[in-house]
Amino acid sequence: MKILVPIKRVVDYNVKVRLKSDRSGVDLDNVKMSINPFDEIAIEQAVRLKEAGVASEVVVVSVGSQGCQDIIRTALAVGADRGIHVLAEDGIEPLSVAKTLKAVAEQESPKLLLLGKQAIDDDSNQTGQMLAALLHWPQGTFASEMEIEGEELTVTREVDAGLEVLKMPLPAVVTCDLRLNEPRYASLPNIMKAKRKPIDTLDISSLGVDTTPRFTAVSYAMPEQRKGGVMVSSIDELIEKLKSEAKVL
């Protein structure tokens, strides 16, 4: 079976982002970009399913600017078979991304769509669920374990109260949580091999998706920083401060 893994290029998670000087948006010039960490987990899971003989082909797809080629190449180096780059502006809203991915899924007919549970830039946590809805497929979100037997998928989900187990038929959409696996690093030979793997480029306009934004940004701000507090030298002083100053004890 074929697995399609949508991945997003985002600011590296170690980068402390800043606003542009005119506060019109987030300053992304000369900032290190990487694969969204949750998507790395999705790639790893897909590659493991291939190694286990469950999947026959792993295709990664990314929607965005030219820079997406780099993250597709990284995914290929980790073990994906080929890539699809849907050339579009960066920052397309989740609903439009979901519609784009639906169009790609209809062309590719995968049995499983594996996504990260959220992107660490917009923190929306929407695309996988929207994509499942548009395809009328079942969804297993926030997966920390998954098992495929024949045409049936069992997903263990991380929920507020603990864990939840669902069963669903394939094809299905799964969004990956951090504990699903530990992504591997690409080896140098695999990075070299990845250069020969194919990446198809499509223009988003060829997919007939309306990407008109539904939202307009009114303003961006840095959240109020907490005031640096005081260091206390003993437990007695701490308790005293919590009682008389902070009044929380």
Partner 1 sequence: MKILVIAEHLNNQLISATLNAVGAAKTLASYTSDSTIDVLVAGHQCSDVAQECQRISGVNNVLHAEAEYYAGGLAENVAQLVLEVTENESYDAIISASTTFGKNVSPRISALLDVAQVSDVTSIENVGIYQRYIYTSNILLTLESKEKVQILTIRTTAFEKAGMEGQAEVKNIAAAADVGLSQFVRTELVESDRPDLSTASVVVSGGRGLGSDQNYRDILEPLADKLGAALGASRAAVDAGYVPNDYQVGQTGKIVAPELYIAVGISGAIQHLAGMSDSKVIVAINKDPDAPIFQYADYGLEGDLFTLVPELTECLAQS
List 21, 32, 52, 217, residue binding partner 1 (CB under 8 A): 217
CA atoms within 13 A on the CB side of 8: 30
How far lies 198's CA from each of 14, 69, 194, in Å? Answer: 30, 11, 8
Q: Is 166 in the site for partner 1 (CB under 8 A)?
A: yes
- Nearer Cβ to partner 1 (23/56): 23
144: tokens are 């920390």
Question: Please, what is the minimum distance in Å from the beta carbon of residue 28 to partner 1?
Answer: 10
In whole angstroms, the minimum distance from the beta carbon of 55 to partner 1 comes to 21
Task: Report the residue from 162, 189, 198, 208 that binds partner 1 according to the rule CB under 8 A.
Answer: 162
Verify binding: residue 94, partner 1, rule CB under 8 A. Answer: yes
For 51, the token pair is 């190694």
> Any contact of residue 20 with partner 1 (CB under 8 A)?
no
Near partner 1 by CB under 8 A, which window of 50-58, 65-73, 128-136, 197-205? 128-136
Smallest separation, CB 95 to partner 1 (Å): 5
Scan residues 107-126 and list those touching partner 1 (CB under 8 A). Answer: 117, 120-126
What are the E-state strand segments in 77-180?
82-87, 112-116, 139-149, 152-159, 162-169, 172-176
Evaluate whether 180 touches 41 at the Cβ level (below 8 Å). Answer: yes
Nearer to partner 1, 80 or 115 (CB): 115
Among residues 41, 30, 29, 39, the alpha carbon closest in space to that of 9 is found at 39
